Amino acid sequence: MTTGMPEDADDLAERKMRFLFALRSKGVTDARVLTAMERVDRGHFIKGLFADRTYEDMPLPIACGQTISQPSVVGLMTQALNVQPRDTVLEVGTGSGYQAAILAQLARRVYTVDRHRRLVREASEVFRALNLTNITVFAADGSFGLPDQGPFDRILVTAAAEDPPGPLLAQMKIGGIMVVPVGQSDAVQSLIKVTRLEKGYDYEELRPVRFVPLIEGLGAD
């Protein structure tokens, strides 16, 4: 029988503990990343039908045909990015805002951009509610980055491109790192870590992934 009572605090704590255990079991071992993911409650970024699946390690649908990524993938991407406390980070693909909120725990400043104005509005509201004052959100075509704010120490792309976008490569500082899913279809993608060297770039393939495609232009919403 459903009582309509709120979820028991002990049960919620148990679900959060299992959530963190799942992250570790999937290879998220960096203590700073785990602490950031413990601080940022994924429940703030999931509304409606899927709210009861907040602490499961799975991607979930959000507005505008987008998804909130699987938490272990968020953790692994953040870990690969190796964000330092004084870093300025660009995120391409704000989505729900969950990834940016985690980056904000680790970096000095986070700029995040999304082509869907509705997602930008909704994420901005959550950031304000959580008092995340070091995040700036833009509605723009993220494939071109944010040249006026760059160059960046770190760039994280949460949508798949055929190749690491040239404008984003150009906005990396020397020694900077970009983590980006690369692949021509949603079935065959690899997570790539790009490090900018004094001359050229170093590319490291990390793992297979599956992301929505990186699309140029602004969304209709």
Summarize pLDDT for 146-160 with one digit per residue, the tens. 999 999 999 999 888
Q: Is the pLDDT of residue 203 over 90?
A: yes
Confidence of residue 220 (pLDDT cuts 50, 70, 90): low
Specify the higher pLDDT residue, 96 or 63: 96
How far apart are the C-alpha atoms of 89 and 78, rounded to whole Å?
A: 11
How confident is the model over 124-147, as pLDDT tens digits?
999 999 999 999 999 999 989 999
Domains of the chain are 9-209 (3.40.50.150)
Q: What is the overall mean pLDDT for the chain? A: 89
What mean pLDDT do residues 205-220 have?
76
The per-residue pLDDT for range 182-195, each reduced to its tens digit, is: 987 666 789 999 99
What string of DSSP letters covers the chain?
Answer: ----PPPPHHHHHHHHHHHHHHHHHTT---HHHHHHHHHS-GGGG--GGGGGGTTSSS-EE-GGG-EEPPHHHHHHHHHHHT--TT-EEEEE--TTSHHHHHHHHHSSEEEEEES-HHHHHHHHHHHHHTT-TTEEEEES-GGG--TTT--EEEEEE-SBBSS--HHHHHTEEEEEEEEEEE-SSSSSEEEEEEEE-SSSEEEEEEEEE--PBP--S----
21-78, pLDDT tens digit by residue?
889 999 999 999 999 999 999 989 988 788 888 888 888 888 878 888 889 999 999 9
Kindly state the average pLDDT of the residues 97-118.
96
Q: How confident is the model over 13-27, as a mean pLDDT?
A: 87
Share of the chain above pLDDT 70, in %: 91
Which pLDDT belongs to residue 116?
92
Q: State residue 2's pLDDT score.
A: 40
Indicate the pLDDT class of residue 5, thresholds 50, 70 and 90: very low
pLDDT at residue 107 in the model: 98
Set 25, 69, 96, 190: catalytic member: 69
pTM of the predicted model as reported, rounded to 2 decimal places: 0.90
Residue 69 annotated among the catalytic residues of the structure:
yes
